[in-house]
Amino acid sequence: MTKRVEGKIAVVVGAGQTPGETIGNGTAIAGLLAREGASVLCVDRSGERAEKTAKDISSTGAVVSSMEADITVADDCARIVKLAMTRYGRIDILINNVGIGGGGDAQAHRIEERVLDRILDVNLKGMWHTIKAAIPVMRAQKSGSIVNISSLAATSGATQMAYEISKAAVNRLTTHVAQSNARYGIRVNAIMMGFMDTPMAISGIAQATGRPTEEVRAERNAMVPLRGKMGSGHDTAYAALFLASDEAQFITGEILRVDGGMGLGLA
């Protein structure tokens, strides 16, 4: 049976695994794409974490490599594309699993400018850098699929201005790039995640608030309408696989909610 992305070349940005009990979105996406036949370049700001993800995946027999890169630096993003082209000769899939929060993020009248700049630099400008670097390759190929990881915070919430507006901007970046590149056969979509049981989310909140991880997990589970349970990195990965694959060949500019019904305002 043919695998869903057999023979494709995928670059997964944010593929490193944050320490914790559960799997992160980037690690899950990289692993699933590899299992479904793609050759994968794992990229992360931590070279050690990127290498660990690549090593774990390669143990299954997949073709995978890794590199360290800071996506807030345009030259690093150019290096990502150069390495992918040197090693594999093309880029079929770009996964932008990019996002930070916390660190002083607050409401508009309280947040400091340095915090806003830091979060926008990573969540928005970093994603733009990788897209800008990859688009010329995909235009030359007249094909490619870009999947940006967004968040339900793009449309709701009133406590973390920088994170919320950065993800709203990611959604608009997605539709802009989709519209301006459709004629070149490039598809661009985003996944708008709800609450996910990932180490970055759960451990990050627990550390920031000084609460036990299980208390944080239980509280967030209770807020999810669908079965009262958060999603996992695997849920994000399966959505990304679909959007990246030829099964979604007529889909572009879509902002796909993967949120257990949270965006519906279900009681």
Closest CA to 80 of 98, 62, 56: 98
Tell me if 3 is assigned to some domain. Answer: no
Considering its fold, how many domains does the chain have in total? 2
Tell me: do 76 and 190 sit in the same domain: yes
**What are the per-10-residue average pLDDT scores of the chain (267 residues)?**
93 96 97 98 98 96 97 99 98 97 94 98 98 99 99 95 98 99 99 97 89 96 97 99 99 98 82
Distance in angstroms (rounded) separating the CA atoms of residues 211 and 83 = 42
Query: Are the CB atoms for 92 and 137 separated by under 8 Å?
Result: no
Catalytic residue list contains 88: no
Report the alpha-carbon angle 251-256-261, nearest 5.
Answer: 145
Q: Are residues 38 and 158 in the same domain?
A: yes
Residue of 88, 163, 184, 238 marked catalytic: 163
Look at residue 12 and give its three-state secondary structure.
Answer: strand
As to burial, measured by CB atoms within 10 angstroms (0-12 exposed, 13-18 middle, 19+ buried), residue 40 is buried
pTM for the whole thing? 0.97
d(CA 121, CA 125): 5
Residue 215 sits in the same domain as residue 170: no
Please give the pLDDT value at position 266: 64
**225 and 175 within one domain:** no
Give the pLDDT confidence score for residue 207 in this predicted structure. 86
Q: Is 176 exposed, middle or buried (0-12, 13-18, 19+ CB in 10 A)?
A: middle
Alpha-carbon distance of 237 to 4, in angstroms, equals: 13
**Within this chain, do residues 131 and 217 fall inside the same structural domain, yes or no?**
no
Is residue 255, in this structure, part of any structural domain at all? Answer: no
First-to-last alpha carbon distance for the chain, in angstroms, is 42
Which CATH number is 137's domain given? 3.40.50.720
Q: How far apart are CA 156 and CA 168, in angstroms?
A: 10
113 burial type by CB count under 10 A (0-12 exposed, 13-18 middle, 19+ buried): exposed
Rg of the chain over all Cα atoms, to the nearest angstrom: 18
Pair 179, 118 in one domain: yes
Give domain status of residue 256, yes or no: no
Three-state secondary-structure class, residue 17: coil
- Residues 154, 37, single domain; the answer is yes
State phi, psi for 185 to the nearest 5 degrees: 80, 15
Residues in the chain: 267
Q: Are 223 and 195 in contact (CB under 8 A)?
A: yes
Q: Residue 2 domain-assigned?
A: no
The answer as to whether 4 is a domain residue is: no
Q: Is residue 109 included in any domain, yes or no?
A: yes
Q: What is the extent of the structural domain holding 211?
A: 199-230
Q: Is residue 262 part of a domain?
A: no
Q: Are residues 172 and 215 in the same domain?
A: no
Examine the domain organization and report whether 139 and 217 are in the same domain.
no
Check whether residue 60 and residue 124 sit in a common domain: yes
- Report which residue type is found at 246: D
**Same domain membership, residue 244 and residue 162:** yes
Q: Specify if 140 maps to a domain.
A: yes
Q: Are residues 78 and 189 in the same domain?
A: yes
